[in-house]
A and B are shown apart, each in its own frame.
Chain A
Amino acid sequence: MKKLPLEGIRVADLTMMWAGPFATRILAEMGAEVIKIESPRAWDNIRTLIPQPGVEEPWNSSFYFNDYNRDKKSLTLDLAQEPGKQTFLRLVAKCDVVIENYRADVLDNLGLGYEVLREARPDIILVSMAGYGKTGPERDQVGFGPIIEQMSGLASLTGYGDDGIPMKTGLSYGDPVAGKAAAAAVALALIQRRKTGEGAFIDLAQREVMSTLIGEAFVAASLRGEEPKHRGNRDDRYFAQGVYRVAGEDQWLAVTLRTPGQWNDLAHHFGLDPDLGGLEGAALLDEVDRRLGEWLKDKDPQWALEALAGRAIPAGRVLNTVDIHNDPHLEAREFWVELPHPRMPAWKQPRSAWNLREAMAAPRRHAPLFGEHNDEILRGLLGLTGEELAALAAAEVISGAPVNPGIG
């Protein structure tokens, strides 16, 4: 069996919410041993972000938490207490990577900055992924994914175009984008360590990563002073493009006609009037929209997707969050994986998009229960005695349950 690329790498994971845990989920799937560390007092808010009234141990049965934290181990440690901090540093000595997505000042305030970590492990790789980075006048601002999208320039580019209103992406888009980049940064830093023996301090600003995904807009701004233009669902590089209602509840199809030839082909083949007269510009696009909309409104979405694909015309169903789990293509590619979980029924979870066709990375184990691996790590890896464990538990440095289970 071929080894996974990150087998043998151990990661101390201080991340919370989405951006960081998304990064470490990838690292875990790529073979790393990821130890998720939470304080019994200040734990990952995702566990209770969605209230589950009446549920026993809601912190262990959150699908949001359990989806993004699978394949990891759970260790509780209160880093604000000295014994917690010292235990953490003993763990760092046995880790290759420490990763955190606190606000920029938090790790240093805990007395656990890069220099302190380096004393515990000289070649440690620290990845910090604060919203605006560890330096600069905006470093103290709090940034979540939706805020990052606004502050990166991306939201200014999104809009229907007829109302002047910028639009947010329908999820906290800055988070997973930063998470992917952070996982990549870990691999890059490990390559460097292999070459030079040196660790690294990666200062990843989530806002900056997001801006890299609209680089050409910065070229337009810097060369020609261009302001963003909301283009709705259209795209100047093609003959026509839009999103059209199809049969079913809130079902839509995106279609691109790359050339006038594709319009003619579609119109002739499916019985639409191909003649667009002398129409040009927006009037032409409006008329194409009208005719496609009229034709598609009672068509089955899957039929329409396949029919247009049969004419080599790009089309895509606007798959909603239920239909995507039943998409025949993703099914055929075994993209969804069902893992048993001790507190929840199994559900379809995505494997990583980093599809290693030979090493076959795939989700292996459900998300850990709160503090599930305390004993394994503290006793097994760090060699703490039963007495030491009891003392840590008595001081609530470690715990098998949150000290203050509440709302995130």
Chain B
Amino acid sequence: MSDPVLSGVRVLEVGGGISVAFAAKWLAGFGADVVRVDPEEEMLTADEQVYLLAGKRRAGPEADAARLALAADIVIEGDDPGDVVKHLRRVQPEALRAAKPEIVVVSITPYGQDGPYAGYDATNITSFAMGGIMSLTGMPQREPLVTGGSQALYLGGLNGFGAALTAYLGRLVHGEGDWVDISLQECMAGMLELYGPGGAISGVPSVRSGNHVRAAWGIYPCADGFAGVCALERQISALFECVGDPELQEPRFRDITLRAENDDELQAKFYGWFAERTKQEILDLGAKYKVPFGAVMTPLDLLANQSLLERGFFDAIQTPGGTAMTPGRPFLGLPWVPGELHAPGADTRAVLDDWLGVRA
């Protein structure tokens, strides 16, 4: 296997939250020398630290982030934007860009670097709300629901990773880096499926659809948990054949318009069908009939999933509490380096030596 793609690339992570840590995690996995400047007060939970910080060198909060940034190729930062708190910002993107034209700076914040909300405080749920996805999530008769985990923050990291690589490629090809301004709100507002453009055009907001957009697109209780289906029109025949109920061949279910009018009855049939089968039985039928079936898997289920194991998806991270198995490379095809977990501030001296030539 050849060298990791990003070997020799220096990345500085400043800011402490999930977004910057996730963006830099993948850069580390693909071979970059990632240095995280630890925050004064750790913002990540113990489990998040295991997942997001493995593979990174850790400099203590006393390290001079501004100086380290000048020695980096890519800086991922998440400090508050705005003139009011400018003196608190550990790296100054404009100054960095002016001093080093080839550097890539990626700033990840809830609302971006400017605009009326730029200085507003935010959390995962408030960002998720402002991004539009939450208005669609949950039961229509109840309050909107935030999706599990910390999706708004992770999306910031996912976007930060892609934007950092793209801007870095631009630097390699065209000679100059850029300052990428990632707003969590924009990460979500630009991925509203058909509901986004639909709302823009019709002026009518989409409603929360709970677990059923329609009968053939939803989640149902099954014999050992929950399973789901998401069939397009071209898969309806296969779905009905798989379910096997002869009534499904009648026009009120076969015809797309009549089917919508009889959606409740169809849902009732599916409730009955799913209830009698296990998750695995349903998945097997999906493969056999080429119907998009799914099952609600837990992380424990997935740690034993044959496909993920065969594809070498998980990284083993040694922790004081034992070996943690975490999602590893996001895709196959380029070398990936599962990292080790370093203690906070453990690498300050080494980093100052390597990056700045400062010997303690």
A227 engages B300 (CB within 8 Å) = yes
C-alpha spacing A102/B195, complex, angstroms: 24
Known: A184-B161, A194-B172, A216-B45. A319 touches B132 (CB 8 A): yes
Known: A151-B295, A151-B297, A254-B128. A180 touches B159 (CB 8 A): yes
* Residues of chain B with a CB closer than 8 A to A335's CB: 186, 189-190
A208 engages B111 (CB within 8 Å) = no
A160 engages B166 (CB within 8 Å) = no
Whether A124 is near chain B, meaning CB under 8 Å from some CB there, is no
Known pairs A214-B154, A215-B326, A314-B122 / 17 extra A-B pairs, C-beta < 8 Å: A141-B287, A146-B213, A156-B297, A168-B228, A170-B195, A184-B26, A200-B334, A218-B314, A223-B50, A225-B300, A238-B123, A254-B126, A322-B204, A330-B185, A335-B190, A349-B200, A357-B113
C-alpha spacing A49/B235, complex, angstroms: 13
A205 engages B311 (CB within 8 Å) = yes
A350 engages B313 (CB within 8 Å) = no
Known: A136-B307, A188-B30, A208-B313. A170 touches B135 (CB 8 A): yes
* Residues of chain A with a CB closer than 8 A to B149's CB: 154, 157, 213-214, 216-217
* Residues of chain A with a CB closer than 8 A to B299's CB: 153, 156, 214, 217-218, 220-222, 228
* Residues of chain B with a CB closer than 8 A to A354's CB: 159, 162-163, 166, 180, 182
* Residues of chain A with a CB closer than 8 A to B142's CB: 160
* Residues of chain B with a CB closer than 8 A to A322's CB: 199-200, 203-205
Residues 300-345 of A contacting B (Cβ, < 8 Å): 309, 312-325, 327-330, 332-333, 335-336, 345
Interface size on B, residues (CB 8 A): 151
Q: Map CB proximity to A onto B167-205 as digits: 1 under 8 Å, 0 otherwise.
A: 111101110101111110111011111111111110111
B162 engages A180 (CB within 8 Å) = yes
A241 engages B170 (CB within 8 Å) = no
A135 contact from B133, B199, B227, B310, Cβ within 8 A: B310
Whether A59 is near chain B, meaning CB under 8 Å from some CB there, is no
A171 contact from B2, B48, B136, B234, Cβ within 8 A: B136
Taking the closest CB of chain A, its distance from the CB of B334, in whole angstroms, is 6
Whether A353 is near chain B, meaning CB under 8 Å from some CB there, is yes
* Residues of chain B with a CB closer than 8 A to A328's CB: 116
B173 contact from A194, A244, A256, Cβ within 8 A: A194
C-alpha spacing A200/B196, complex, angstroms: 34
Residue on A nearest B121 in the bound complex, by CB: A314
A318 engages B180 (CB within 8 Å) = no
The 6 closest A-B pairs by CB, nearest first: A170-B136, A157-B148, A5-B170, A321-B199, A316-B126, A184-B162
B324 engages A219 (CB within 8 Å) = yes
Report 17 cross-chain contacts, Cβ distance below 8 Å, ordered by A residue: A2-B178, A6-B169, A136-B311, A142-B290, A150-B219, A154-B147, A182-B331, A183-B162, A192-B5, A201-B333, A208-B311, A321-B132, A332-B114, A347-B200, A354-B166, A355-B182, A358-B97
Residues 325-339 of B contacting A (Cβ, < 8 Å): 325-327, 330-334
* Residues of chain A with a CB closer than 8 A to B332's CB: 133, 202-204
Judged by DSSP, the binding face of B is: mixed
B135 engages A191 (CB within 8 Å) = no
Interface size on A, residues (CB 8 A): 158
Whether B129 is near chain A, meaning CB under 8 Å from some CB there, is yes
Whether A264 is near chain B, meaning CB under 8 Å from some CB there, is no
Residue on B nearest A27 in the bound complex, by CB: B166
Taking the closest CB of chain A, its distance from the CB of B20, in whole angstroms, is 15
Taking the closest CB of chain B, its distance from the CB of A84, in whole angstroms, is 21
Known: A150-B296, A209-B330, A329-B111. A137 touches B310 (CB 8 A): yes
A316 engages B125 (CB within 8 Å) = yes
C-alpha spacing A150/B299, complex, angstroms: 11
B178 engages A171 (CB within 8 Å) = no
* Residues of chain A with a CB closer than 8 A to B203's CB: 322
Q: Map CB proximity to A onto B102-126 as digits: 1 under 8 Å, 0 otherwise.
A: 0000000001111111101111111
Whether B145 is near chain A, meaning CB under 8 Å from some CB there, is yes
Whether A36 is near chain B, meaning CB under 8 Å from some CB there, is no
Taking the closest CB of chain B, its distance from the CB of A247, in whole angstroms, is 15
Residues 185-207 of A contacting B (Cβ, < 8 Å): 185, 187-192, 194-196, 198, 200-205
Known: A153-B298, A167-B210, A355-B181. A136 touches B198 (CB 8 A): no
B190 engages A202 (CB within 8 Å) = no
Whether A252 is near chain B, meaning CB under 8 Å from some CB there, is yes
Taking the closest CB of chain A, its distance from the CB of B319, in whole angstroms, is 7
